[in-house]
Structures are given as structure tokens and as C-alpha cells.
Amino acid sequence: MKLETQIDKISYIIGEDIGNSILKEGYDFNLSVLLEAIKMAAEGKSENLMTEAEKNNVMQKWQAEQQAKKQSQIAEQSRQARKQGEDFLRNNRLQPNVTETPSGLQYTVLQEGVGQKPLSTDKVRVHYHGTLLNGTVFDSSVQRGESIVFPLNQVIAGWTEGVQLMNVGSKYRFYIPADLAYGDQPVGNIPAGSTLIFEVELLGIE
């Protein structure tokens, strides 16, 4: 394939985007039919092989099947992630520097501050660095170089509970099981059922 003109380049970019979307979503398409349909429609030569009612019926059934397939994949992903998290937390709680609360939240004190402890109704300013169990960073104010302020009662339960344990000036590492994080639904680049690790520095109460 040679991209000799601007039209060639635009055509390639759009085609690549469509292909990447199909690959990402895992759609099971007949590519030869798909490409022929695109060609005919773009040239105004659609053969109207299906009525609008037939198209609607087929699409509704297909969308329902895709949704069921996606939910099944998420459920399996969550099951595996939860098992991994449970195994990790079971071993982690045996470490001498790890404390576990009745809810299942685990934490390590990296630096103990001397300031005030926040209430769940407070707004707090923090720096944080969040990773999955495999070390993948999914969010980090440290990497962005900018701390964040948020109401402590409007975040995941593990944060609401954990940050209240901290004095201003403290830095803790939290090990947050899925039920205190995002549960069985994926959020952004956090897979369903994930146990999360956060290093949190409490900079102030606002």
C-alpha cells in the first residue's frame, strides 16, 4: 500500500480507525461483506438488500448479544482479578508493617505526620500514586506534578476510611480490596474486580 496523496492518507487513517475499533471491541464481522457494503454505500449504489424493519430487528438482536458477551467477559475478568487480589491480601496481611482494619482495608505507614486528622465530611488536599497489583500505574497526581483537593466522602470507600486514619503530613500505602474500590465494573484502565494500591500523602485539610 502506497500513500501518495492527501486523499490516500485520509482514507488510510479512517480505515485504520475503523479496523482498530473492530479489533478492540472483538466484533465478529464478515470483513468482505463489510467492505463491500461500505464501498456501495459510499458510491451511492446500495442494493437495499434489507428493509429498515429487518435492519432494526437484526441490530437489536446483535446489540443484545454483544452486551451479554461483554458482561460475561467482565464477570470472568472480575472473578480472576478478585482471586488474585484475595491471594495477595492474604499474604500481605502477614507482613510485619501491614495493618488491616475490620473492613479489609490494609495499610502501611510510610511517614507519620503530626497534624490534624480529617473527618469524612472534610475536603482534603493529597498527592497520590495508584497502581494495580502488577505495578501498572493507572492514575498519579505525583506524575502529573499537581496535588488534588476533593471531598473525602465522595471517593471510593477505601479512601474515605483510609485517609481519616492519617494526620496531616502523613504518607501511607493503602491496599484496597475490590469491594472498597470499584467492585465488579471496570473503570477507565482499571479492570473489573481489581485490588488497588495507593500511596497517599495528606498535605492538608481545606
Task: Give 64-108 pLDDT, tens digit per residue.
Answer: 988 898 889 899 999 999 999 999 999 999 999 999 999 999 999
Within a domain: residue 71? no
> CATH number of the domain that 139 lies in?
3.10.50.40
Residues lower than pLDDT 50 in the chain: none
Catalytic residue among 176, 182, 190, 197: 182
Active site residue 182: yes
Within a domain: residue 60? no
**Structural domain span for residue 37:** 1-49
**What pLDDT score was predicted for residue 38?**
85
Count, residues in the chain:
206
On whether both 152 and 86 belong to a single domain, the answer is yes
Catalytic residue among 107, 128, 172, 174: 128
Going by C-alpha positions, the residue among 111, 101, 108, 204 that lies closest to residue 157 is: 101
Domain count, the chain: 2
Catalytic residue among 22, 74, 122, 138: 138
On whether both 21 and 85 belong to a single domain, the answer is no
Active site residue 139: yes
Within a domain: residue 70? no
On whether both 5 and 87 belong to a single domain, the answer is no
**What pLDDT score was predicted for residue 199?**
97
**What pLDDT score was predicted for residue 159?**
97
Within a domain: residue 134? yes
Active site residue 122: no
On whether both 200 and 109 belong to a single domain, the answer is yes
Catalytic residue among 156, 179, 184, 205: 156
DSSP string computed for 149-198: EEEGGGS-HHHHHHHTTPPTT-EEEEEE-GGGTTTTS-BTTB-TT--EEE
